[in-house]
Every structure is written in C-alpha cells, then in structure tokens.
Amino acid sequence: GQQVMQIPQYQHVQEGEDFTTYCNSSTTLSNIQWYKQRPGGHPVFLIQLVKSGEVKKQKRLTFQFGEAKKNSSLHITATQTTDVGTYFCAGLNDYKLSFGAGTTVTVRA
C-alpha cells in the first residue's frame, strides 16, 4: 500500500534560522496536504498542492510539490517560537489520505 515518509523526525532550530522538512511517497499522489499540530492540540490544515512542480507560500512558509508528484517539502525561514509543533504531510491517492510520521520542531530562543 501507499507509504508516506517524512524526514527528519525531529528538528531543533535556533530562533531566526531556516529549516526544511521533506516528504516522500511510494506512489504518485493526486495531491499533497500539509498539517500542523501544536503540542496538546489536533492537526490543522495548512495547505494543499495539486499540480506537478507547484510552489505555494504562506508568509515564512514555502511549500513545494515535486515534478513527479511523489515528494514535497516545507521550508520555514526565520523560525519563530510560534513555529513549534509537529508538521505532517499527507498524500492523497484513491481518496485515501495517508499521513507521514511528522517532523517535530522545537525552537531555541
């Protein structure tokens, strides 16, 4: 079955630095979605990418969907303490949404 893998599992970032988290699927995806879960909270939808090679930005967050529609990345610039949480990618294939294991981000002030 479809597998979605994310790396790294943990990301410890100095406040103000940039980082990237990567997502890879074993199969071609209809679309890829990104979610954020704050500590103690529930996952909240951030964005959806549909087109091959698509790039979308939300303030300091840049999301990219690979040309083959099998991988994606989330890049955060100038990390802030509000960025703390776990970021999940989720691949949609045959109407099944499969989540990666997430990248848990901690920020050093």
Partner 1 sequence: NAGVMQNPRHLVRRRGQEARLRCSPMKGHSHVYWYRQLPEEGLKFMVYLQKENIIDESGMPKERFSAEFPKEGPSILRIQQVVRGDSAAYFCASQGQGGTEAFFGQGTRLTVV
- Chain residues binding partner 1 by CB under 8 A are 1, 30-31, 33, 35, 41-45, 48, 86, 88, 90, 92, 95-102, 104
**Beta carbons of 92 and 31 less than 8 angstroms apart:** yes
Q: How far is CA 32 from CA 71, 80, 85, 103, in A?
A: 8, 25, 19, 16
**Beta carbons of 89 and 98 less than 8 angstroms apart:** no
Q: What are phi and psi of 35, to 5 degrees?
A: -130, 155
